Structure 1
Amino acid sequence: MMLEARNLAIGYGATTIGTELALQVTGGDILCLLGPNGCGKTTLFRTLLGLLPALAGTVTLGGKPLAAQTRAEIARQVAYVPQAHAPPFPFEALEVVLMGRTARLGLFGQPGRQDRDCAFHALDQLGIADLAHRDYARLSGGQRQLVLIARALAQEAPLIVMDEPTASLDFGNQAQVLAHVAALADGAAAGGRGVIMSTHDPDQALALNARVLLMKDGRAFAEGPAEAVLTGDTLSAVYGIPVTVETTGSGRKVCLPSLDRQSAPTMTSEAFTIA
């Protein structure tokens, strides 16, 4: 299963937010979207999910135009993991996960034994089966995020879109969620799902060994493997502050922004691509 965008323009009505965007994700891939607030990441997500029409270009899902597919068809192929939230009504964690089965049921269908088994399996796969009958709203932020990932697993979609899945989580929960993101794309562990994930932390893309689409002002500034794209020069140009990328004693690369108040050096911001 592949999700592909070509020469994509995104926006709302007559307002264009981004142009000339291209990406593709298939099973086993992790693609991280990075860029400053307002660069168009959320609008791009909404377009890839079919919630907004493309202003130009094409989005195809499984080789078919996204615009020609029904919401149920899209939901059977792409699952969405939003940022963890507390719902206005009390739901058990199991009930939240069962919501992922909606696309597999008829219009007035009710979850059956097979659906409940699938939901329990998703919870167990993430190591949180003991939370099944807990009040979702009373779980920690990290636990709620894992429940939402379990919902996506129960949806049995080969592609998963994640909107800042580690936002507002503490250090430990961030590490836990990232470990599960890596497992989702691991063919041996989770069927080789394709993952598109937005994040504000370039270190996460490096840790996941992901491909990166680095955005600025609605355009692709750079695209390619994280280690090739996330350099001090590109990050400084995109975020407007001096950034260095250093290698730790274990061989892992980390991004270090300058903490002084000086402006970043003047740099070109023309889009380029790294294969």
Structure 2
Amino acid sequence: MDVRLAAQGLAIGYPGRRIGAGIDLELAPGGILCLLGPNGCGKTTLFRTLLGLIPAQGGEVLLGGRPLAAARRAEIARAIAYVPQAHAPPFPYRALDIVLMGRTARLPALSQPGARDREIALRALDRLGIGDLAQADYSRLSGGQRQLVLIARALAQETPLMVMDEPTASLDFGNQARVLAEIAGLAGGAGGEPLGVVLSTHDPDQAFALGAEVVLMKEGRILARGRPEAVLTGEALSTVYGVPVSVERTEGGRLVCLPALGRRPPGQAASPEVMDIA
């Protein structure tokens, strides 16, 4: 079954306010797509458009080769799971209850989660190392713990595609490493069929760690896309983030990005053209 997610000539934004245009992307199971760019460049708006939460202002989003706008919400929910940046629950749900909400798309209308759904939810919590929080009040968890619960909810949804908006933003170093390993495992088919994952991050080192295809954004446009070692150069990162950045190789052979503190960035201007880098 074709479950590819694609954007073709996509324009994004809100009524009376266009944020970006000319966006072309494609994600299939087994792939990892990493979006990088400064705050306000349109990453979250792009995600909301890819999920059908807001309409495209131009171009189109395709799911399985069909226009996303023609798909029912239940169809989209069975194909794409979403991990938002943050979540404030209106009631003091248990962490397990939050994860069980991910099973909604798999249940008939007006039905309640059963024993199998509970088993899947508990397995998702255990997979992220937070099984002991199943009965905890979600609203009283730390920001990092809540983020892990939201990722568990997405896992419990059992979709072939996953959209993750800055999934490691609230996590400590250890949990960041755990989530990155989980993302790599999902794309590689660990424990089941390979998933396609698109995530945004402010840490270019994560793209190197994942070996993901990179999409570098600025002001609502794609400046470059391709393999991280080709796209994430010091020059490109300095242009996008407005601070001088160097990309260096460690003794172990890993590429890392380092800001040159106290220095001005080079004065080059970003090209509006998209660069496809093999």
Change (3 A) 1:3 1:221: same
Aligned equivalents of 2:176 and 2:104: distance in 1? 28
Distance 1:134 1:20 in 2: 45
For normalisation by structure 2, the TM-score amounts to 0.94
**Alpha-carbon distance in structure 2 between the residues aligned to 1:183 and 1:143:** 20
Bigger drift between 66-75 and 142-151 goes to: 142-151
Which residue identity lines up with residue 145 of structure 2 in the other structure?
Answer: Q
- 1:174: how far off? 1.7
- Equivalent position of 1:19 in the other structure: 21
Do 1:243 and 1:257's aligned partners in 2 also have CA atoms closer than 8 Å? yes
Does residue 274 in structure 1 map to residue 277 in structure 2? yes
Pair 1:209 & 2:211 matched: yes
Q: Is the 8 A contact 2:124 2:155 kept in 1?
A: yes
Q: What is the alpha-carbon distance in structure 1 between the residues aligned to residue 15 and residue 194 of structure 2? A: 36
Indicate the residue corresponding to 1:109 in structure 2.
Answer: 111
Pair 1:94–1:172, CA change in 2 (3 A): same
C-alpha distance in 2 between matches for 1:136 and 1:244: 40
CA distance in 1, matches of 2:247, 2:192: 32
Q: Structure 1: which 5+ residue stretches go unaligned?
A: none
Q: Deviations for 1:43-66, whole angstroms, at most 9, x for unmatched residues?
A: 101100001111111211122110
1:240 paired to 2:236: no
**What does residue range 85-234 of structure 1 map to in structure 2 within 5 Å?**
85-234=87-236
Distance 2:138 2:232 in 1: 37
Identity %: 66
Q: CA deviation at 1:100?
A: 0.3
- Displacement of 1:167: 1.0
Distance 1:228 1:261 in 2: 24
SS at match of 1:198: strand
Question: Per the alignment, in what secondary structure is the counterpart of residue 220 of structure 1?
Answer: strand
Calculate the aligned-residue CA RMSD, in Å. Answer: 1.6
The answer as to 2:263 corresponding to 1:251 is: no
Amino acid at match of 1:274: I
Q: Secondary structure at the match of 2:25?
A: strand
Report the Cα distance in structure 2 between the residues aligned to 1:189 and 1:109, rounded to whole angstroms: 28
For 1:222 and 1:189, the matched residues in 2 are separated by: 33
Structure 1 residues 30 and 147: alpha-carbon distance in aligned structure 2, compared to 1, 3 A threshold: same
State the secondary structure of the residue aligned to 1:10: strand
Aligned to 1:75: 77
C-alpha distance in structure 2 between counterparts of 1:55 and 1:268, whole Å: 24
Q: Is the 8 A contact 1:123 1:147 kept in 2?
A: yes
Give the TM-score normalised by structure 1. 0.94
User: What are the superposed Cα offsets for residues 127-176 of structure 1, whole Å, 9 maximum, x if unpaired?
Assistant: 33222212222333333222111111111111110010111322222222
The Cα shift of 1:206 comes to: 0.9
- 1:117 and 1:171 map into 2 onto residues whose CA distance is 29
Report the secondary structure of 2:277's partner residue: coil
Q: Which amino acid aligns with 1:103?
A: A
Q: Which amino acid aligns with 1:168?
A: S
Matches of 2:178 and 2:152, distance apart in 1: 14
Report deviation, 1:86: 4.5
Retained in 2: the 8 A contact 1:183–1:190?
A: no
The 1-side partners of 2:104 and 2:48 are apart by 20
Deviation (angstroms), 1:190: 4.4
Partners of 1:269 and 1:138 lie apart in 2 by: 46
Between the two proteins, the alignment pairs up a number of residues equal to 275
